[in-house]
Amino acid sequence: MKKDNAFFNDVYDVVRQIPAGRATSYGAIAKYLGNNRGARIVGWAMGSSYTHQDIPAHRVVNSQGELSARALFETPTTMQERLESEGATIKNHKIQNWKEYFWDPEKELL
């Protein structure tokens, strides 16, 4: 898959809409975009975005709220630091109160 793939751009459009202080999962983005089993494809798309300033990639985590991509940022603590600066509590590389913090694009985007 090429980086400029239309699906990748759709993923980035969704990620840009995640508000500060919230996070979502790869699977939730995939489901919103019509690919219920596409979490890995979303992860693939996100892989080229971790250092882009215009994509808040730190707000995308795995389905359990774990910071699974933390090693792909500038430093291994960047993802956690960005989330904490937006009010998230992180313990053992996982967002605490994940269900309350979770942003569901299917409910938030029309």
Between 99 and 109, the higher pLDDT residue: 99
pLDDT at 1: 42
Tell me: the pLDDT tens digits for 44-84?
999 877 777 789 999 999 999 999 999 999 899 999 999 99
Where residue 65 falls (left for φ over 0; alpha for ψ -120 to 50; beta otherwise) is left
* Residue 86 contacts residue 6 (beta carbons within 8 Å): no
Q: Which sequence spans correspond to the domains of the chain? A: 6-108
pTM metric for this prediction: 0.91
Give the pLDDT band of residue 4 (cuts 50, 70, 90): low
Q: Does domain 6-108 have CATH number 3.20.20.60?
A: no
Mean pLDDT of the chain: 91
